[in-house]
Amino acid sequence: MKRLHIVSNRLPFSISFENDNPSLEPSVGGLATGMNSVYKDFEGKWIGWPGIASDTKSRKELQAVDRLLKEEGCKPVHLCEQEVEDFYEGFCNNTIWPLFHYFAQYVDFHASLWDAYINVNRKFADTILETAGQGDFVWVHDYQLMLVPQMVKSQRPDITIGFFLHIPFPSYEVFRILPWRDELLRGLLGADLIGFHTYDYQRHFLSSVRRIFGYEIVLNEVHIDGRIILVDSFPMGIDYDKFYKAALNIFHTPVKERSEVHNELEKYFLMSDGKHLILSIDRLDYSKGIPNRLRAFEKFLERNPDYRGNVTLVMLAVPSRDNVDHYKKLKSEVEELVGRINGLYGSINYTPVLYFYRSMPFQNLVELYSMCDVALITPVRDGMNLVAKEYVASRINQTGVVVVSEMAGVVKEMGEAIIINPNDEDQVAEAIQQAIEMPHSEQVRRISAMQERLRRYDVFKWAKDFVNALQKARKVQTEFLAK
């Protein structure tokens, strides 16, 4: 295979500055964590934004950033403060993100934000055009860059372009709300292969293409003006072995060398028998259903006085997009709910919700996964949800229970979990009780089945399948033109 370049808005590393010196930190989010495991297998660059506003830094500082990223095989696309505001916080996260997650009431329809989206997509396309050699492959990721495939294809038909959407593609009735729906679809159709996490998202996309343009669709191929575009679903996996081995390692580490998080959790369990920890981990995002999760937990405590003092919700929320209004409001709402529950049901010895607003190193994340009895995952809409998969992979003794929302893409691969509707708080409260009371043998049966599935279709297999399909797309196109 020729070289393959990865392109995404968020690079696998974000830059932070201390005393004018830049350093790299791993980025949070499914795209970055998933692709980070596979990208070094490809010969090519990872093109993306390093997460800082370039006009707030000196030339020297930016050069230092570029050097650091180069060592990791990354090529930066720098965005200035205005672009961050209008493109990233604006059109990406205040227009497309809410619309594609069915939060139509949150969508901001400003033409100036759309202009910023075009301009920044053009910047990314130009960087690809500078970087890619004759006949290279390019794999573009996610909703921030939906115009890029067409921008590149129109100038360089020799480049084979794959596009993968990490969030849901909404139904036509929701997608059609967007004034720029035709342009977005045309942008995507510049790709040779378009991938989604689930068959439903693929179906919604094809239905929008059919209704808006009336193009001919033959099974999963779109035929337009002498081109064939393949459309398929590829449910993203995780680096299964990395989580499983890290969890195994914890138990082989002498007690004295274990982390503070681990020892604190262990102390909690040693306080008395019958203690339960429920885990909740997400970016602080309104699509993740955090307030409804908290209200359901409150209901559970209200209805089960015997469990008060014995069941704790460990809630980890990573700061995300905190300049966007709806995220700011969500933060206050979550803090208020946590305060209310702790005020109502807490005591000197008991904090019902242990709330952490921060990102955590990988090691601590695995400790939480491997020590909590239940993973409570209640998004109101989620493209996939890798946290659910990471939890299952970290259960080395095969115990543990996953409670998962039917609105998350991951549910298609988790038939053995307790599946809930996140808007039904009574049902979620009951699911918490069912999870805590589930017999060990039943937990083992369910977790083992899910582990087997996730181990087989890990992130490496996922990437391989996508790249194979991309090669097939090139072949289909070449044969079609030769006819």
Query: Which residues of this protein are in contact with ligand G6P, per CB under 6 A?
Result: 10, 29-32, 142, 166-167, 320-321
Minimum CB–partner distance for residue 140 and ligand ADP (Å) = 17
Contact 284, 357 (CB under 8 A): yes
Minimum CB–partner distance for residue 49 and ligand G6P (Å) = 9
Residue 386: name its binding partner from ligand ADP, ligand G6P, none (Cβ under 5 to 8 Å by kind): ligand ADP
Residue 281: name its binding partner from ligand ADP, ligand G6P, none (Cβ under 5 to 8 Å by kind): ligand ADP
Minimum CB–partner distance for residue 347 and ligand ADP (Å) = 27
Write the binding mask 28 to 67 for ligand ADP: x where contact by CB under 6 A, - elsewhere.
Answer: xxx--x----------------------------------
Binding-site size for ligand ADP (CB under 6 A) equals: 16
By beta-carbon proximity to ligand G6P, the closer residue of 144 and 477 is 144
* Whole-angstrom distance, CA of residue 96 vs CA of residue 99: 5
Minimum CB–partner distance for residue 280 and ligand ADP (Å) = 10
Interaction of residue 316 with ligand ADP, rule CB under 6 A: yes
Residue 294: name its binding partner from ligand G6P, ligand ADP, none (Cβ under 5 to 8 Å by kind): none
By beta-carbon proximity to ligand ADP, the closer residue of 192 and 382 is 382
- HEC assignment per residue over the chain: CCCEEEEEEECCEEEEEECCEEEEEECCCHHHHHHHHHHHHCCCCEEEECCCEHHHCCHHHHHHHHHHHHHCCEEECCECHHHHHHHHHHHHHHHHHHHHCCCHHHCCCCHHHHHHHHHHHHHHHHHHHHHCCCCCEEEEECHHHCCHHHHHHHHCCCCEEEEECCCCCCCHHHHCCCCCHHHHHHHHCCCCEEEECCHHHHHHHHHHHHHHHCCEEECCEEEECCEEEEEEECCCCCCHHHHHHHHHHHHHCCHHHCCHHHHHHHHHHHHCCCCEEEEEEEECCHHHCHHHHHHHHHHHHHHCHHHCCCEEEEEEEECCCCCCHHHHHHHHHHHHHHHHHHHHHCECCECCEEEEECCCCHHHHHHHHHHCCEEEECCCCECCCHHHHHHHHCCCCCCCEEEEECCEHHHHHCCCCEEECCCCHHHHHHHHHHHHHCCHHHHHHHHHHHHHHHHHCCHHHHHHHHHHHHHHHHHHHHHHHHC
Minimum CB–partner distance for residue 32 and ligand G6P (Å) = 6
Write the binding mask 98 to 137 for ligand ADP: x where contact by CB under 6 A, - elsewhere.
Answer: ----------------------------------------
Task: Return the structure tokens found at 168.
Answer: 């849901």
Write the binding mask 232 to 271 for ligand ADP: x where contact by CB under 6 A, - elsewhere.
Answer: ----------------------------------------
By beta-carbon proximity to ligand ADP, the closer residue of 162 and 235 is 235
By beta-carbon proximity to ligand G6P, the closer residue of 142 and 425 is 142
Write the binding mask 365 to 394 for ligand ADP: x where contact by CB under 6 A, - elsewhere.
Answer: x------------------xxxx--x----
Contact 279, 375 (CB under 8 A): yes
Residue 385: name its binding partner from ligand ADP, ligand G6P, none (Cβ under 5 to 8 Å by kind): ligand ADP
Q: Considering only residues 388 through 447, tell me which ones interact with ligand ADP, judged by CB under 6 A.
A: 390
Residue 10: name its binding partner from ligand G6P, ligand ADP, none (Cβ under 5 to 8 Å by kind): ligand G6P
Minimum CB–partner distance for residue 127 and ligand G6P (Å) = 18
User: Which of the ranges 26-34, 86-94, 192-200, 456-464 carries the binding residues for ligand ADP, by CB under 6 A?
Assistant: 26-34
By beta-carbon proximity to ligand ADP, the closer residue of 129 and 360 is 360
Binding footprint of ligand ADP on the chain (CB under 6 A):
28-30, 33, 281, 283, 316, 318, 359-360, 365, 384-387, 390
